[in-house]
Structure formats: structure tokens, C-alpha cells
Structure 1
Amino acid sequence: MTTDAFTAQRPRLFGLAYRMLGSAHDAEDVVQDAWLRWAGREQDVENPAAWLTTVVTRLCLNRLDSARARRETYVGPWLPEPILTTDPATGPAATVEERESVSLALLTTLERLTPPERAVYVLREAFGHSHAEVAAVLDVTEAGSRQLHTRARRHLAQPPTPVPTTPPTDPADVGPLLARFVAAAREGDVAGLEALLAADVTVWSDGGGKVSAARRPVHGRDAVARFLVGVLGARRPRRSGAAAEINGAPAAIAFVDGVLDGVLTIEPAGEQVATVRILRNPEKLAFLAGQLSRSAGLSGRPS
């Protein structure tokens, strides 16, 4: 019974920890720590969901300050670890709003919040907890929870990458644009690629200093088109590609000799691409690689 009660909560707890930390491996560690605490006193817990939510949130708060310090010395742009959101083990991502709450764009932007602000925002916006419930989790007053939530939304609305106020883009609308975008880059079609890019498009490339990646963002249509053709255009006999839903949106995945080598996602602005995110840090791809090895969720064929 002890195991059953925790197992029922596990995907939701992972989803909470991942949104708080932006790291799948850290989220797994937090959930494991929560299990150890639960196994010692589960008989005394009247409301397992509330108790475990509190434990996981507070464990995440303990990790956020040290995580931020590590990211300040990170080599190149930092992006969250990608996850396969068709995997039910990673928590809720069934609705458009749930997918948006785990998007790479939002998780990156959440880095600008203080740990308490991030906790309130995630609990309120992604999991729908009331301010009374959030206040109990964080051991603050309801007024304090409302104040933290207001500050979080204000900080997220600031430039340079504010959280969109328009409805999230439906993944069904992103897939065809992504396919045209990748095809143009692979074929070396600079003009065709430029036609798909917004004038102020930006590429963020995360290699963590471990593999080849741009150590600064690449800005502007011309520079981005030429950069992407250089990265994706050369056909390599040992490289293959596929498509999958990563962090709630269509993504292109690259393999070399069958080993996951990179993930590319786009953020559209109308019918053009406004942001490109490329993840190549092997440490950040390890969790996703494990998911893919267990899943038949890949669509598309090697190319």
C-alpha cells in the first residue's frame, strides 16, 4: 500500500520537480529523496498528495540556489534538459496549457525568478493550486503567496524574452513549419531558409563546453541561416534524424551511429521561426536518450 500510494503520485511529483529545476536528473533525485522521507512516516500522513507536494517543493527550493550558482559558470548558453513529454512518467502534459508550462521557452525564462517566486508560479500556473494551498506548502501567508505570484508574473513579463501573453501555439501548427525549416537547412538552401526566419531570429545552442556549439546566441536572419546550414547542411553517412514531442512541442532529433547527438526545437512567430534552440550537451541528453530507448514514440524515419 505504501508503494502504491507513492507510485500514483510519482509522475505528478516528477513534473513538479522538473518545472522547478529545469533538470530531469535533479528532478529524479528529488523524487527519490521524497520517497525516502515518505517511506519513514507514510502511516502518519492523512493527505499523501499534499504532503508529498510540500516535501518535493521544499527539496527543490534547497537545490535552486546551488543550481543557479553552477549556471553562472556554465560554458555558453544554458538550456533546460529536454524530456519526451509523450512519456506518462514525466507528469501532466495533456492540455495546451500543460505543454506550455513545460516548454523550453518558459523553463528558460523561469531562471530569472527567485526560488520562492518560481515555486509559487509553478504551483499556481502549472498545477492550479490555490493561494491557500501554496501558502501552506511554502509556510507563508496567503497575502505573501499572492505577492510572490505578482512579482513572478511581473519579472516574467520583462524583456528580453517575456512569457507570451498570446495563447500557446498548437503543436499541430509547428510540425509542418519545423519540417520545412529542417529540410531547407539540410539541403543548404540559404534563400529558402531565410524565407522561413523572422528578421530578429535568434539561435541558442547548448553544448556545455563538452561538444561543438555556438558559445553566444546567433542573431539575425542572414547570420542564423548561414549558421544553421553549416550545422545541419553537411550530410554525414553516420547521421540519422527523427521527430518527437519534446517539452510539449515538435522537435527534430539527430543521432550519430544510433547515439542521440542533438535536439532542435523552434519557436514560431506567425508563419516564421523566431527562436531556435539546439541542445547538444551529452549530459543533458542522457535522460531523453533513456526515454527514447524505452519508447516507441518516435515518428518519422532516419534521414
Structure 2
Amino acid sequence: MSQTAGEIFDAQRSTLLRVAYRMLGTIADAEDVVQDAYVRWQAVDHAEVAVPAAFLRRIVTRLCLDHLKSARVQREIYVGPWLPEPAVDDALDDDVTLPLLLALERLSPLERAAFLLHDVFGERFEDIALVLDRDVPACRQLASRARGHVRDARRRFPIDHQQGKAIAAAFFEASQKGDMAQLNMLLAQDVQFHADGGGKRPAVARILQGASEYLRAQAALIRLRRAPSELVRFTTINGLPGFITREPDGLLQTTALLVEGRHIQAIYVIRNPDKLTRVH
């Protein structure tokens, strides 16, 4: 028995959500785009669609490109470092870590679309050209440029779940105790610290570079802290080990750690309450 249009779409929904999230960086916007794609799918002559999965990915990609045109202005006036909305417990992505999402964010919308459609989902450049309204050589060039930017953001030395949780636990404990010596042992010397408050909550206004700069900032924070953070639970955030805490202001916060070998290469803290509604 043949599938209905709704059943075909539902079978692709999770994949389409992944496409939109990788393009847009926020789950809410991704869900809106997928819902819009469903409305458009209902108006299509389904008998004329040879490969529904590929057809739907193209619809979602076009909608994302339209959305990014209006989102660009909002990103330009964003307060402090921008981080994508956290996907907790691999709810959305298993192989798309925060560094990779940030690398995608630095691409142009067309580069991002060409890379995702070709390198991630295996679309032919002839089909991508129709989506992007570019010729095939231009699409190849877009994907090639994107590939060069993204290559360094892919995980080189993935760690297992238990090791990641152990390092996250040690980092949390040292941070709460103010044990700078232990923190220093956990950190790579060129560690980066990203904190996204979005202008809604206090957060470091720029990316901190290096262990010494981070430790100075952490020591100052500890002196100002009214009460310790309450651990909600350890978890996985966009494929990285991390934890959720309730802060002294009563609001949630996520911390994700990029770990390579035995050291933390990057720390990603999301404090913007608009990006934490689903974490509740």
C-alpha cells in the first residue's frame, strides 16, 4: 500500500529538522521552516516527485536561505559572542558539534547550503544548482570553499562518553571550588572560552583566548559570586560532554566542553534564556 503525502513527510521530518538546524542554528526557527515545508509539500503533485527525500531537502534549504536573509541583520547587532541553540542529549544531532556549527555559521548562506546538500546528504551538483540558482561549476566552488573552512572544525580525536563525563565532572568541581591549579591542569594552554548571554544576562562580551586569560576571568567571577551553581545533570550537548546548571539568579545555563586527549580545548556556555527554553 502506497504512503500518503503526510506519511512520506513524517518519515523525513527528523532529517529535515537536522538540515534546517544546521543551516539556521536555532531549533525554533528550524521547526518553523519544516512546518512551512510541510504546507508547501501538501500543494505539490506528489506523483511527479521521483525522490521525495531529496525534493523535501531542497524545499527546506530554499526556505532556510530566505530566512537567513532576514536573520543576517539580527546577527550583526547580537550582543557578545553568538552560539547556536544547544541540542541536549543528542536530541537533534549526533555528529554536528558546536565547533562545526560555528564553522558553518561563518560560511555564506550559499556555501553552507552547497556543503550540506553535497557533502552531508550526497546531492548531485546538478540538483544543487537548481536550488541555489547557480550553475554547476559555481556550486562546486561554493562547496569546495566551505569544505576548506569546515575541515578544521571536525572532531579529530573523539572521546568516549565515560571519559567525557569524567572530565566534565572534574571541570565542574574545580570551577565550584575555585581550584585554579586543577582547572589549569584540565585546560589546554590555547583554550577558548565562549559565553552567549545575548544581552539578556551577564556574560563575557568577547571570546577569551588562552588558559591564563580564562583563569583570571574565572577567579574574578568566583570573587563576585553570591552562591555556587546547582548541578542539574551531566549530559551531552551537540555531541560534546557538558552539564546543565541552575545559576544563583535561578535560571538555567549549559556548559559544553570540546575535549581532545586529556585537555579541554574550548568551553561553550549558553546563558541567553531565549536559547534555553527547551532545556527546561
TM-score range, shorter chain: 0.7 to 0.9
Greater Cα offset, 136-145 or 63-72 = 136-145
Aligned counterparts of 1:262 and 1:122: Cα–Cα separation in 2:
29
TM-score by length of 2: 0.87
Which of the numbers 241, 246, 260 marks the counterpart of 1:250? 241
Partner in structure 2 of residue 59 of structure 1: 63
- Mind listing any 5+ residue stretches in structure 2 that lack a counterpart? none
The one-letter amino acid paired with 1:177 is I
Shift of 1:191: 0.8
Q: 1:176 to 1:129 in 2, by over 3 A?
A: farther
Partner in structure 1 of residue 99 of structure 2: 105
Q: 1:111 to 1:125 in 2, by over 3 A?
A: same
The one-letter amino acid paired with 1:125 is D
- Mind listing any 5+ residue stretches in structure 1 that lack a counterpart? 94-98, 290-303
Partner in structure 2 of residue 282 of structure 1: 273
1:140-219 alignment to 2 at 5 Å? Answer: 140-156=134-150, 162-164=152-154, 167-172=156-161, 173-219=163-209
Secondary structure in 1 matching 2:153: coil
Aligned counterparts of 1:20 and 1:85: Cα–Cα separation in 2:
20
TM-score by length of 1: 0.81
RMSD: 2.6
Greater Cα offset, 75-84 or 268-277 = 268-277
Q: Are the counterparts in 2 of residues 186 and 229 from structure 1 also a CA contact under 8 Å?
A: no
Which of the numbers 225, 242, 264 marks the counterpart of 1:273? 264
% identical aligned pairs? 40
Number of residue pairs matched by the alignment: 274
Aligned counterparts of 1:69 and 1:272: Cα–Cα separation in 2:
36
User: Could you list the per-position Cα deviations for residues 257-285 of structure 1 after superposition, in whole angstroms to 9, with x for gaps in the alignment?
Assistant: 9x761110111243211211100100011
Shift of 1:6: 1.1
Secondary structure in 2 matching 1:86: coil
Which of the numbers 9, 30, 37 marks the counterpart of 2:33? 30
Shift of 1:255: 2.6
Aligned counterparts of 1:84 and 1:124: Cα–Cα separation in 2:
27
Q: Are the counterparts in 2 of residues 240 and 255 from structure 1 also a CA contact under 8 Å?
A: yes
